[in-house]
Structure 1
Amino acid sequence: MMKEKHGYIRSIDVAEALGVTKPSVTYTTKRLRENGYITMNKDGLITLTDLGMEVASRTWNRHKLLTEFFMRLGVDEKTAREDACKVEHDLSEKTFEAICRHADLEKQKYPDGKE
């Protein structure tokens, strides 16, 4: 989202967007680099690797579907988005699939046919 909005991603922008400290982002970006999810150039600009983009796309898809599900339950959009952020990473695939089935969102789960 940041790349689309600004054309680049910097640690300071991530910290501000998430409401965390820059040292927290520095620690996390180090781990993400070590695990092959991102690269950083000499100017500190962050780029997702193919693996990182795959994980990010899957997480973003979960976020959108969970937000929609919460809104269908009657939760206002702002709260639904905030709550989706809280659970999208920790929710098991089994529970996520059950939510999709229950809310008739299964067809939207992986629109490109990939899991």
Structure 2
Amino acid sequence: MLLYASGEDYLEAILVLKKQTGAVRSVDLARYMGYSKPSISHAVAMLKKGGFLDTDEDGCLLLTDSGQEIAEKIYERHCFYKNQLVTAGIDPQIADKEACQMEHIISDETFQKIKKHLCQRNKEDSHHQA
């Protein structure tokens, strides 16, 4: 099943909420994302159908292995881009919003090369300052 940016956003939000609270219900996701409960229910059903999400007997949302992998990938990108933008002087709220857009449009290959380049550059900069 093809996963669009909105599906990735749901998975990322579930991952973030799980890290914060330990358990995530649909109502928590709706509150966090600012979406209606029917929208969340529809998205959850689609993500379950795609094999990215499951629910336990208490109704808590659980990422499957593939859902967890995608959520972690998107969250890593989000944090990376937000950090780079804030470091460049962008307001944190704007950086957060723009990082959310960037995380979806950059290919894995491009992301890895950007990350590698910036890490090497940071090492070189810190070496020259020492």
When normalised by structure 1's length, the TM-score is 0.78
| Pairing partner for 1:66 from 81, 87, 92 | 81
Give the percent of matched residue pairs that are identical in Structure 1 and Structure 2.
Answer: 32
Residue in 1 aligned with 2:5?
Answer: none
Root mean square deviation, CA, Å: 2.2
Query: Structure 1 residue 48 and structure 2 residue 63: aligned?
Result: yes
SS in 1 for 2:105: coil
Gaps of at least 5 residues in structure 2 are 1-15, 121-130
TM value normalised by structure 2: 0.70
User: Which residue is equivalent to 1:29?
Assistant: 44
| 1:65–1:105 Cα contact (<8 Å) kept | no
- Offset at residue 73 of structure 1 (A): 2.4
Q: Paired residue for 1:57?
A: 72
- The structure whose residues are more often helix, as a share, is 2
2:18 counterpart of 1:3: yes
Larger Rg: 2
Which protein has greater RCO, CA pairs closer than 8 Å, 6+ apart? 2
Aligned residues: 106
